[in-house]
Amino acid sequence: LEPPPEDASDGSKWLLTAWNEASAGIPAWPETKAIGTVGWRRIAGQGIEGSSLAAKLTGTSWTWAGISGLEFLERGQLKTPWGTGAWGILPKQKAGDFCEVGCAFVDFSGALHNARFDSQATPTSFETFRVGDGERIHGKAVAK
């Protein structure tokens, strides 16, 4: 786990050290690509209110790995060719992280994805980072 903020209590620093030591001592401890605790519990629509990225995404259609049918619906509802899911906005991460400029989460079919959008591309595109194994998927906006 990442360290707590500089001004965190000594207890939180001790707990972090104990946790990291314990998890390092378990040979079968899984590697993860999760953003700390972000992603442990993601709720449809989380982070959408007041987000400029969410305002741009709501009501839009996209391809996912070249397959049409991904739609960002109201209140964090997601429509995909594989069924329904949830989306929302993740907090910005530290410099150098995949989501340092802001990402949406795009979760469906039991998989959690962090999606980074490129509005400079024509059409606007995204790249995802699947939480757990880091697989990357690309998609593009579909004109209506």
Residue 79 or residue 18, greater confidence: 79
> What is the rounded average pLDDT of the residues 114-136?
91
- Please give the torsion angle defined by the CA atoms of residues 44, 49, 53 and 59, in that order, rounded to the nearest 10 degrees: 60
Q: How far apart are alpha carbons 92 and 126 in whole angstroms? A: 16
Q: Quick one: CA dihedral 57, 78, 41, 115, positive or negative?
A: negative
pLDDT of residue 29: 64
- In the chain, domain spans: 1-30, 52-142
97 vs 107: CA distance, rounded Å: 20
- What predicted TM-score, i.e. pTM, was given to this entire model? 0.73
Write down the CATH number for the domain with range 52-142: 2.40.128
The two structure tokens encoding residue 85: 């899911």
Taking only the tens place, the pLDDT of each residue in 43-102 is 899 999 999 999 999 999 999 999 999 999 999 999 999 999 999 999 877 788 888 887
- Which amino acid, residue 111? A
Across residues 110-127, what is the average pLDDT?
A: 93
Helix (H, G, I), strand (E, B) or coil at 26: coil
The Cα–Cα gap between 68 and 62 comes to 6
When the pLDDT of each residue in the chain is averaged and rounded to a whole number, the result is 87
Residues of the chain with pLDDT > 70, as a percent, come to: 90
pLDDT at 36: 54
Q: Which residue has the higher pLDDT, 138 or 19?
A: 138
The predicted structure's pLDDT at residue 62: 97
For range 10-19, the mean pLDDT: 86
SS3 49: coil
CB 142 within 8 A of CB 126: no
Identify which of 53, 61, 56 has the alpha carbon closest to the alpha carbon of residue 79.
Answer: 61
Q: What is the pLDDT of residue 35?
A: 55
